[in-house]
Chains A and B, each alone.
Chain A
Amino acid sequence: MTQPVSSAQQSGPDKGAAPAPVAEPRKKDGPSRTFGLRADVRNLSLLGVLAVLVAVGGFTEPDAFLDTGNLQLILTQSSVIGVVTVGMTFVITSGGIDLSVGAMVALASVWATTLATQEYGFAGILFTAVIVGLGAGLVNGVLIAYGRMVPFIATLAMLASARGLALQITDGKTQIVTVKSVLDLGLPDSYVLGIPPLVMMFAAVTVIGWLVLNRTTFGRRTVAVGGNAEAARLAGIDVRRQRLCLYLLSGLCCGIAAFMLIILSGSGQNTNGNLYELDAIAAAIIGGTLLSGGRGTIVGSVLGVLVFTTITNIFALNNLQSDVQQIAKGAIIVAAVLVQRRTSAHGET
């Protein structure tokens, strides 16, 4: 082959020794190093917050807070919202938003606990919860990906309709679960090495979510769509199908969360999952997922959930009212976002 000749052309792809081409490498403050570290730093700072909270809890209420039962409680309470947050993290990473998660949890939990469903026992409840979640997610996804609706609006509509449907199904009544195999999962007898099954389910969803986001083509496409949808499209990615799948995924997580909530409460209620959307979004954001899309972290989201649940727990142990909790939550969101600005200070977007 004839090698074309040019003043600036290097002789071949051999590394190292060759003098740099005319294009100077830009001098920036060590970009390649900060790039890898940035996510870690953020997670570390959140871990620090969690450590401080544990210390505060340990000092103020040493007996009650550090009690095994209480720690189990914190983790259990984190589990349901945690699963929802994993799904939410994917959606936000893709540049979207899902406001309907709380309503989907409510709808799935009541549909899965009707008398008719309960006749099918454990499998019937689990299956129904998951299918209802997926169905609602499918509607969201189709409206957004193919109906070109803004995610905020489409999922806001789903929020309203799903809650309404949940109310219609229950007529405002609490549906008590009588299926023993389901209820048993919430009892201490079912704990393995002191770990409640709900926490194990949360852990499993977290690990799978992390792997999917970081190690699979699905995760890569999610990040690409969120980072630059037009570039993703021109790179040959099916952006619409990806969006559809993401809202399906969020629905699936809500279905699983609904099942977990049924175990936890032993019932299905149309008021379940109230304001989950806000908690999940807040946890993802303080975890370090960019609301504008293009960057997401499952670990950060889970830490975010744990921080919020721990605060709630400490406040409850100290007999502080929930209004104070809410104020503290708001302050933490603001502080976390400000810290992120510092650690990822690079101007753009």
Chain B
Amino acid sequence: MAPEPPLLTMSGITKSFPGVRALDGVDLEVQAGEVHCLLGQNGAGKSTLIKVLAGAHQPDGGEITWRGEPAALKSPIAAMRLGIATIYQELDLVEGLSVAENVFLGHEPTTARFVVRTREGRTAAAALLKRLGHPEIDPARAVGELSAAQQQIVSMARALSHDVRLIVMDEPSAALDPDEVDNLFRIVAALTADGVAVVYISHRLEEIRRIGDRVTVLKDGRAVAVGLPAKSTPTRDIVAMMTGRNVEYVFPPRTTDSAGAAAAEPVLKVEGLARKGEFDPLDLELRPGEIVGLAGLVGSGRSEILETVYGARKPSAGRVTVAGKQLRPGSVRAAVAAGIGLAPEERKAQALLMLESVTRNVSVSSMSRFSRAGWIDRGAERRAARTATRELSLRPDNPDTPVRTLSGGNQQKAVLARWLLRGCRVLLLDEPTRGVDVGARAELYAVIRRLADEGLAVLLVSSEVPEVLGLADRVLVLREGRVVHAADARELDEHRVLDLVMEGSPTS
């Protein structure tokens, strides 16, 4: 492209957290004045990467070059001094302070380095807001009183208050109305015209088409494509890169024959279940031994459906029946008592007790099994938990291991063991291989299939189309909270599903 060196080059960036390798050799190259889009599913490593870029995380390995020279982003302040500003999705503004105070937080114009020159700050803030096309925002107002879109503008003004050369925007359009998005794009265009580079993160492909110059796609902590032209790369190719497999997986063979399964009584019946603004009325039947997959992009309502079936969200209509018994809506305990188990999307935040051992994580939903009058028989508990974890080949084979030291795949097995021990009949799996090392996935697939063979009914949500197609017997394709297609998994292929998933999005 340009004769001068790229503004930013990151190569071979790695970063591990306990239990998961978040970045596994990521490359990124950003030119001055371009909009560089960063794409990837949840958990692909985008947020970790931008935190490295913002100086909030220190990479374990790899090199960063800034304007042709090696750079170390030791802290957020160091990154900011170089001219890298980050606008996070959850805006990091202090709601009780004024707009101007937020803009200049940490580098206020001062007298004698101590007394804040309020008026000067307000004037400067007003100038920045004007540059961003929002002169109507009063610099003296408290940020908490502003709309989400206005807060975002303030966040951008803060970025511009530094001598910024690169702005990272993490899903800036997520909270915005369409015309607010138009304004955002105007701002981005004005910034790049001034030579500022923008790293733009979004799930919305059509936005990337509109403002992006180049695209880097992340998947499983790796960059699967670096610097593709944003306007001319076919949407299908991009989505395939985000969702596809770059490794051939061995999916366990299906053992249920559809005819036999169809004859069985459904164990889970979902009738007209809906949640306003999240998903439309849904009908679904799940038979023992069957794996049904929900395919869809982020925002298609797939996780919301699972959590509503589980009672973690209260439905606005419809009902859930397990083995002929209708569940009290919006009650997790009713669902668990009826034999539903959930392996949620955010394992650490929603499922695991990170300070506790494997045994206690596994036994937490079945404590009454090893207790009399509340008194726990710890020997029986340990043995039962161990039987369950061994059945799933959880490593290490030590029930006292703290769960936080396990790898992602083994943490997931601990969650599955919990429901195995509980003896549940319906298993809801939300992104079961999220944060699981690529190598360990085949094993999880086999485990899930075996559980189904043993009579469990499984409802599987995954943003990875091949995973749904390879593992499920039946697939429901979701788009914008609606089932747009339902078919036997063997009748579908990846391209067909991708078309269905994206159909109707304006620019595909």
A22→B437 contact, CB < 8 A:
yes
Q: A5-B252, A231-B351 are in contact. Are A13 and B357 (CB under 8 A)?
A: no
A294→B353 contact, CB < 8 A:
yes
- Whether B390 sits at the interface, judged by CB under 8 Å, is yes
CB-based nearest A residue for B254: A4
- Name A1-36 residues within 8 Å CB distance of B: 1-10, 13, 15-16, 18, 20-26, 28, 31-32, 35-36
B439→A227 contact, CB < 8 A:
no
Tell me the bound Cα distance from A4 to B253 in angstroms: 6
A220→B376 contact, CB < 8 A:
yes
Tell me the bound Cα distance from A23 to B442 in angstroms: 10
What does the 1/0 interface line of B347-381 toward A look like (CB < 8 Å)? Answer: 00111111111001000110110010011101000
B285: chain A residues within 8 A (beta carbon): none
- Whether B67 sits at the interface, judged by CB under 8 Å, is no
Minimum CB–CB distance for A23 against chain B, Å:
4
The interface size bin for chain B is: 35 or more
- Whether A321 sits at the interface, judged by CB under 8 Å, is no
A233: chain B residues within 8 A (beta carbon): 312, 332
What does the 1/0 interface line of A213-237 toward B look like (CB < 8 Å)? Answer: 0011110110110011011111111
Minimum CB–CB distance for A193 against chain B, Å:
30
Tell me the bound Cα distance from A8 to B450 in angstroms: 13
CB-based nearest B residue for A233: B332
- Whether A163 sits at the interface, judged by CB under 8 Å, is no
A231→B352 contact, CB < 8 A:
yes
- Whether B66 sits at the interface, judged by CB under 8 Å, is no
Minimum CB–CB distance for A345 against chain B, Å:
14
B350: chain A residues within 8 A (beta carbon): 230-231, 234
A35→B400 contact, CB < 8 A:
yes
A23: chain B residues within 8 A (beta carbon): 395, 407, 409-410, 436-437, 439-440, 443
A348→B396 contact, CB < 8 A:
no
Contact of B332 among A9, A18, A236 (CB under 8 A): A236
Total A-B residue contacts, Cβ distance less than 8 Å: 163
- Whether B19 sits at the interface, judged by CB under 8 Å, is yes
- Name A69-83 residues within 8 Å CB distance of B: none
Q: Which of these binds chain A: B52-60, B137-145, B179-187, B336-344?
A: B336-344
Contact of A227 among B355, B410, B418 (CB under 8 A): B355
- Whether A42 sits at the interface, judged by CB under 8 Å, is no
- Whether A295 sits at the interface, judged by CB under 8 Å, is yes
Minimum CB–CB distance for B186 against chain A, Å:
40
A216: chain B residues within 8 A (beta carbon): 371, 374-376
Query: Of residues B353, B368, B410, B418, which shows the largest number of chain A Cβ atoms within 10 Å of its Cβ?
Result: B353
B353→A31 contact, CB < 8 A:
no
Tell me the bound Cα distance from A218 to B355 in angstroms: 18
A234→B395 contact, CB < 8 A:
no
A6→B443 contact, CB < 8 A:
yes
Contact of B442 among A1, A9, A26 (CB under 8 A): A9
Minimum CB–CB distance for A320 against chain B, Å:
40
Minimum CB–CB distance for B377 against chain A, Å:
9
Query: Of residues A4, A22, A23, which shows the largest number of chain B Cβ atoms within 10 Å of its Cβ?
Result: A23
CB-based nearest B residue for A28: B405
B349→A6 contact, CB < 8 A:
no
A28: chain B residues within 8 A (beta carbon): 18, 405
A237→B395 contact, CB < 8 A:
no
Minimum CB–CB distance for A236 against chain B, Å:
3
A235→B446 contact, CB < 8 A:
no
A217→B349 contact, CB < 8 A:
no
Contact of A215 among B378, B391, B395 (CB under 8 A): B378
* 6 CB < 8 A contacts A-B: A6-B251, A215-B376, A220-B360, A224-B353, A232-B353, A236-B333
The 9 nearest A-B residue pairs measured at CB: A4-B252, A236-B336, A22-B439, A23-B440, A6-B446, A13-B390, A9-B446, A8-B443, A31-B405
Since A18-B393, A36-B400 are in contact, a sample of 10 more A-B pairs with Cβ atoms closer than 8 Å, ordered by chain A residue number, is A2-B253, A4-B253, A4-B449, A6-B445, A23-B410, A26-B19, A32-B396, A35-B400, A294-B355, A348-B354
